[in-house]
Chains A and B, each alone.
Chain A
Amino acid sequence: MTTPAQSIAPLTLTPDQERRIDEILGRYPTRRAACIPTLHVCQEAIGWVSPDVIAYVAQRLGMATSEVQGVVTFYTMYHQAPVGKHVLWVCRTLSCDLRGGKTIQEHAEKRLGCHAGETTKDGTWTLKKAECLAACGYAPMVQIDDRFYENLTPEKLDALMDRIEKGEMPTQEETAWVPNTASS
């Protein structure tokens, strides 16, 4: 159960990633509780949750691979197949849809030449539909990799994607909500 990580599975993590997992393990009274955050570290490392990742996490945490698989398939944020360099999630739940979620999705599909759930031929973008991302008042919005971009129009989305394709990573603050001072 506590076999050194390097020898247990084909997945190789950097010493820094290994340290992060050790640190995560220290937070909980059980090893298993580290499952979800450990899977996040692995996904960050190789881009998706491969069978190797599942085998690695199972051995590192003393779980059966079927148990790890069960966790992976339950949650939507683990990619169970390789994805593009960037993942674009368009929120399509009610509040966003009332303010243009579908228009944003259609615009992204046209720009990328692929449908939601697919990856562009050049492997740059994976487009996905998201359920409520807790940004309802700042709709329409998308999540690109680990950032929210809110209060969008097709034009603003294009500008963001242009910059991201050039290697920039616009901050979340650029489009983010600002506190309401109406009542103070």
Chain B
Amino acid sequence: MPDYKNILSNRYPLAQSWTLAVAERAGAYGPAKKALGTMTPEQIKNEVKAANIRGRGGAGFPAGMKWGFLNPKPGQDVYLVINADEGEPGTFKDRTIMEKDPHRLIEGCIIAMYAIGAHKTFIYVRCELVLSIQRLEAAVKEAHAKGYLGARPFGKDHAMEIVVHPGAGAYICGEETSLLNSLEGQRGEPRLKPPFPAVKGAFGMPTIVNNVETIASVPDVVAMGGEPWSNLSLLPPEMKDGGTRLYGISGHVLKPGVFEAPVGITLRELIYDFGGGMLHAGRPLKGVIPGGSSTPVLRPEDKVHAPDPKSPMNKWHGKSHLDVPMAVDTMRNLGTMLGTCCAIVMDSSVNMVEASRNLMKFYHHESCGQCTPCREGTGWLEDTLNKLASGRGKASDVDLLVDISNNMMGNTICALADGTAMPMLAFVRKYRKEFLEAADKGLSPSQTRLDEAVRAALVGAARAQSHASHAVGGAA
């Protein structure tokens, strides 16, 4: 495995890495000093554009271009809003920044506020992430005390405040307009677009909403320069998908966790190198969800079909889906999405009817209920899967899953319905046999347990450890 350098996460292993003293000794706030002291907002925006940062929250929208949409009218406040409502199943990377290096996010906010002409940032953190909230609030206080926030940060006449705002438990608030409604003290229902937040966002003012990791990358972009940072990516520059990023891996691998690597490693590297390979030698990979539960599942046996030399995917013609570099555009060409770049790995013990039922239950619970196709569709999908699992289903129910999904997509205000329907369709298309078998005879009790394969080890561990110690060990 190549020796990739940790840049974004280089301060994670330091003791007390979340404190200003430790972070600053390791380089924090140097880039902010450079940006506010020697650069104009235009220059910073140009570096961010040249860095080709594709939004790290899941949609992959170019961050530099998003900043370019701002065009405030005289007298209007501009807000920066950080989306820290991390909750896409499979995704747990932003949390690592907030827990281990909150000053990197705050420094990114300082540089971004200066660049886009904002004086206030709201960091919207899901309230379950209590430690993240505590560390961010403490870091904001420290930055204030040092004068890095407040009336004249780094001697610049550009007042800055950061407010850490807790959510209250709703997946949908990760959708940017729903997040804005929630920030304003409303129910977190998505807004119709346009107007986009850059025109009318938080409190009716022009607003940029960026993901935690996106903004935490900005200090390194300023320090290195946009183009050199972009070139950290393994992809050719013309793909405009630059830099280094956090990858997550969970499920049936030996070493689940968050890793930093350049943009463009393959799923095979993520699973077998970073993730340490499959959890159990006797249970091969069956499917992998590449970037959070809203991204359609991939099978290792599927090959890229792009015989046309003009196709952007021709380079990987005949190769397994696992051997294609993970990028916003390549994953889209495979019929899935890069999403949050946090993969969920499922081995041969997993029944895909049950796996999809778990996720559809999630989406049904999390649909805000505003649009009928989503409110009814998510529930109908869950009901239909419950029927199939319990043996009350019939073969036509499998087609019904497809039908419902097709009628959800594109018919709602936000992307939650699409993020439900797309993975549902992929599960049915790629594992149709399992769905038809369930229609025929339902699922056996062990098939309805996604943890059947690991249960013996878990309970075994309990037995082995009993009478030993009551101390709780560190992370295995």
Contact = CB atoms under 8 A, between A and B. Distances in A.
B126 A150 contact: no
B169 A179 contact: no
A93 B362 contact: yes
B475 A176 contact: yes
Nearest to A97: B450
A139 B250 contact: yes
A93 B91 contact: no
Contact of B89 (A132, A150, A154, A175): A132
A183 B470 contact: no
B185 A131 contact: no
A148 B167 contact: no
B91 A159 contact: no
Contact of B182 (A36, A93, A139, A174): A36
A33 B203 CA distance: 9
Among B4, B185, B458, B474: residue with most chain A CB under 10 A: B185
A113 interface: no
B9 interface: yes
Nearest to B184: A33
Interface string A48-84: 0000000000000101000000110011111000000
A7 interface: no
B167 A95 contact: no
Interface stretch (A8-16, A100-108, A119-127): A100-108
B44 interface: no
Given A136-B90, A179-B96, A75 B203 contact: no
A85 B367 CA distance: 30
Given A134-B126, A182-B274, A36 B358 contact: no
A42 interface: no
B471 A159 contact: yes
A2 interface: no
Interface in B121-144: 126-131
A94 B89 contact: yes
Contacts, number: 237
Interface residues of A, number: 72
B166 interface: yes
A134 to B, nearest CB: 5
Nearest to A37: B166
A30 interface: yes
Contacts of B366: 131
Interface string B1-27: 101111001101100000000000000
B252 interface: yes
A34 to B, nearest CB: 7
B256 A179 contact: no
B248 interface: yes
Contacts of B459: 103, 154
Given A77-B169, A134-B95, A175 B183 contact: no
A3 interface: no
Contacts of B90: 94-95, 132, 136
B177 to A, nearest CB: 15
B152 interface: no
A115 interface: no
Nearest to A39: B168
Contact of A155 (B184, B186, B342, B461): B461
A62 to B, nearest CB: 11
Contacts of B145: none
Contact of B257 (A37, A71, A78, A137): A137
B interface secondary structure, majority: loop
A183 B185 contact: no
Contacts of B130: 146-148
A177 B462 CA distance: 20
Interface residues of B, number: 87
Contacts of B184: 30, 32-33
Contacts of B127: 40, 77
A137 B472 contact: no
A139 B186 CA distance: 33
Contact of A97 (B1, B165, B451): B451
A151 interface: yes
Contacts of B257: 137-138, 177, 180
B371 to A, nearest CB: 15
Given A27-B163, A32-B184, A183-B4, A156 B365 contact: no
A99 B451 contact: yes
B281 interface: no
B355 interface: yes
A154 B255 contact: no
B89 A174 contact: no
Interface in A131-184: 131-140, 143, 146-151, 153-156, 158-160, 162-163, 170, 172, 174-184
A35 interface: yes
Interface in B347-361: 350, 355, 358-359
A174 B471 CA distance: 9
Interface of A: 27-30, 32-37, 39-40, 61, 63, 70-71, 74-78, 92-95, 97-103, 130-140, 143, 146-151, 153-156, 158-160, 162-163, 170, 172, 174-184
10 contacts: A71-B185, A76-B169, A98-B350, A99-B451, A103-B451, A134-B86, A140-B458, A151-B475, A179-B12, A180-B255
Shortest Cβ-Cβ A-B pairs, 9 listed: A35-B185, A75-B168, A77-B169, A179-B12, A76-B169, A136-B250, A137-B256, A155-B462, A32-B185
Interface of B: 1, 3-6, 9-10, 12-13, 77, 86-92, 94-96, 100, 126-131, 163, 165-171, 182-188, 203, 248-252, 255-261, 274, 289, 293, 342, 344, 346, 350, 355, 358-359, 362, 365-366, 368, 449-451, 454-455, 458-459, 461-462, 465-466, 470-476
Given A36-B167, A153-B465, A183-B4, 15 more contacts: A27-B163, A32-B184, A32-B186, A94-B89, A94-B362, A98-B250, A98-B251, A102-B451, A103-B459, A134-B86, A147-B130, A149-B472, A154-B459, A162-B470, A180-B255
